C-alpha cells in the first residue's frame, strides 16, 4: 500500500489544511515537551515567525529514563489546543500507546509515532484506524525496509495519510546522539510514495548541528523538517541542548526559504 510500485505519483498529505509532500516543503517546529502554557505559546510564536506552519510539542514523552520528565499528559494536550486556537497552527503530537489514541486524536491534527514505538504493532494498527494523519518516525535501529513495513501496518488499517520521518539511527559514532541517515531520504522516496521529512534535532541532539543537518536534508530532497525550539533552553525539562533559540531560527527561516527556492 505504501510502495511506489503501484502508486508512481508521490503523495501529498494534508494536516489541518497544510500540505506536506512534493512542492510543499513544510517546517514543523515547537517545543520538545509541552511544559507550561507560556512556554508553549512562546515557542509556537518563535516557530511561526521562522516560517513554521505546524506546531510540534510532546504531551506524552517516551523517555529513556523513567526518572526523566514524562510529559503533562492530557493537560499538555489542552495547552496545545489553546495555542493552536491562538496561533492558527495545527498540532503534531506523540501518542505512545493504543489506549490513548482516541484521546490524543481528539486534540491533535497529526499523530506522531516515535522512534521507540516504530514496531509497536498494536499502536500502529490503532493509529491506522484513527482518522488523523500520522507522522511515523524511523526506529533508531530499524532498516528502511522495516520502517516501510511499519507504515504498511498503518496503511493496512485504512489510513494512508502517513508522513515518514528520518530521525537518525544508532551507529558506533558517539559525537552525536544518533547519526542522521541522509541517504534514507531519497531511498524512502524512491521506494514509497509517502512524503519524507527529517528531524535534525533528535538525530544530532546538539543545537550547533541543527542548521547544517537541515541544509543537508533539504538538499537531499526532504519534504520538510521537524525542529525543536524553546524560549529558554537552559531550563527546558526535555532536550534543551538541541532546542533552537531566536537567533538560530532567523537563520533557519532564511535557509529553508532560500534552499526551497533553489530545489
Ligand atoms: C520527539 O520528537 O519528541 C521525540 C521523542 O523524537 P524521537 O521519537 O525521534 O526520539
Is the shortest distance between the CB of 115 and ligand 1 below 6 Å? yes
Of all protein residues, the one whose alpha carbon is nearest to atom 9 of ligand 1 is: 115
All cell numbers assigned to 193: 510514495
Q: Using a pLDDT cut of 70, give the percent of the chain over it.
A: 98
SS3 labels along the chain: CCECCCCCCCCCEEECCEEEECCECEEEEECCECCCHHHHHHHHHHHHHCCCCEEECECCCCCCCCCCCCCCCHHHHHHHHHHHHHHCCCEEEECCCHHHHHHHHCCCCEEEECHHHCCCHHHHHHHHHCCCCEEEECCCCCCHHHHHHHHHHHHHCCCCCEEEEECCECCCCCCCCCECCCCHHHHHHHHECCCEEECHHHHHCCHHHHHHHHHHHHHCCCCEEEEEECCCHHHCCCCHHHCECHHHHHHHHHHHHHHHHHC
Three-state DSSP at 11 gives coil
Q: Could you read off the pLDDT of 185-199 as tens digits, one per residue?
A: 999 999 999 999 999
| CA 1 – ligand 1 centroid, Å | 25
Of the candidates 86, 92, 182, 93, the one whose C-alpha atom is nearest the C-alpha of residue 138 is 182
Is the shortest distance between the CB of 137 and ligand 1 below 6 Å? yes
Mean pLDDT, the chain, whole residue set: 95
Length of the chain in residues, anyone? 263
H helices of 96-171, in order, are 101-105, 121-129, 144-156
- The residues, ordered by sequence, that sit 6+ positions from 9 with a Cβ below 8 Å of its Cβ are 193
Of the candidates 35, 78, 56, the one whose C-alpha atom is nearest the C-alpha of residue 229 is 56
All cell numbers assigned to 222: 526532504
| CA 254 – ligand 1 centroid, Å | 25
pLDDT (0 to 100) of residue 250 = 83
Name the residue ranges covered by the structural domains of the chain.
13-262
Q: Which of ligand 1's atoms lies nearest the C-alpha of 58?
A: 3
The sign of the dihedral angle between the CA atoms of 226, 230, 235, 236 is negative
Of all protein residues, the one whose alpha carbon is nearest to atom 3 of ligand 1 is: 32
| CA 6 – ligand 1 centroid, Å | 31
Beta strands (DSSP E) in 60-109 are 91-94
| Whether residue 262 has pLDDT greater than 80 | no
Q: Which of ligand 1's atoms lies nearest the C-alpha of 140?
A: 9
Q: Could you read off the pLDDT of 71-115 as tens digits, one per residue?
A: 999 999 999 999 999 999 999 999 999 999 999 999 999 999 999
pLDDT (0 to 100) of residue 253 = 77
Query: Which of 112, 140, 168, 205 has most ligand 1 atoms within 8 Å of CB, for mutation?
Result: 112
Q: State the complex-level ipTM.
A: 0.99
| Whether residue 255 has pLDDT greater than 90 | no
| Whether residue 12 has pLDDT greater than 90 | yes
Is the shortest distance between the CB of 32 and ligand 1 below 6 Å? yes
Is the shortest distance between the CB of 230 and ligand 1 below 6 Å? no
Is the shortest distance between the CB of 201 and ligand 1 below 6 Å? no
Is the shortest distance between the CB of 196 and ligand 1 below 6 Å? no
Of all protein residues, the one whose alpha carbon is nearest to atom 4 of ligand 1 is: 114
Of the candidates 49, 29, 40, 51, the one whose C-alpha atom is nearest the C-alpha of residue 81 is 40
Three-state DSSP at 85 gives helix
Mean pLDDT, to the nearest integer, of 141-160?
A: 98
Is the shortest distance between the CB of 58 and ligand 1 below 6 Å? yes
Query: Which of 35, 120, 137, 226 has most ligand 1 atoms within 8 Å of CB, for mutation?
Result: 137
Q: Using a pLDDT cut of 90, give the percent of the chain over it.
A: 92
Kindly report the CATH number that applies to the domain delimited by 13-262.
3.20.20.70
Supply angle C-alpha 38, 40, 167, rounded to 5: 160
The rounded distance, in Å, linking the Cα atoms of 80 and 58 is 9
All cell numbers assigned to 146: 522495516
Amino acid at each position: 500500500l505504501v510502495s511506489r510500485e503501484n502508486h508512481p505519483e508521490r503523495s501529498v498529505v494534508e494536516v489541518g489544511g497544510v500540505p506536506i509532500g512534493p512542492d510543499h516543503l513544510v517546517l514543523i517546529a515547537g517545543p520538545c515537551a509541552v511544559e507550561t502554557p507560556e512556554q508553549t505559546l512562546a515557542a509556537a510564536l518563535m516557530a511561526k515567525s521562522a516560517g513554521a506552519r505546524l506546531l510540534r510539542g510532546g504531551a506524552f514523552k517516551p523517555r529513556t529514563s523513567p526518572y526523566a520528565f514524562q510529559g503533562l499528559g492530557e493537560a499538555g494536550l489542552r495547552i496545545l489546543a489553546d495555542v493552536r486556537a491562538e496561533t492558527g497552527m495545527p498540532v503534531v503530537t506523540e501518542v505512545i500507546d493504543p489506549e490513548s489514541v482516541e484521546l490524543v486524536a481528539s486534540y491533535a491534527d497529526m499523530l506522531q509515532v516515535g522512534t521507540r514505538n516504530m514496531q509497536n504493532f498494536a499502536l500502529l494498527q490503532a493509529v491506522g484506524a484513527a482518522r488523523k494523519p500520522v507522522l511515523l518516525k524511523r526506529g533508531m535501529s530499524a532498516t528502511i525496509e522495516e520502517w516501510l513495513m511499519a507504515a504498511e501496518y498503518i496503511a493496512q488499517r485504512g489510513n494512508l495519510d502517513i508522513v515518514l520521518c528520518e530521525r537518525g539511527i544508532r551507529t558506533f559514532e558517539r559525537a552525536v546522539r544518533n547519526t542522521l541517515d541522509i541517504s534514507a531520504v531519497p531511498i524512502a522516496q524512491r521506494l514509497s510514495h509517502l512524503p519524507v521529512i527529517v528531524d535534525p534535532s533528535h538525530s544530532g541532539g546538539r543545537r550547533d548541528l541543527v542548521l547544517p543537518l537541515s541544509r543537508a536534508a533539504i538538499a537531499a530532497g526532504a519534504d520538510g523538517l521537524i525542529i525543536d525550539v524553546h524560549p529558554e533552553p537552559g531550563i527546558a525539562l526535555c532536550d534543551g541542548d538541541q532546542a533552537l533559540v531566536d537567533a538560530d531560527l532567523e537563520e533557519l527561516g532564511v535557509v529553508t526559504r532560500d534552499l526551497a527556492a533553489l530545489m
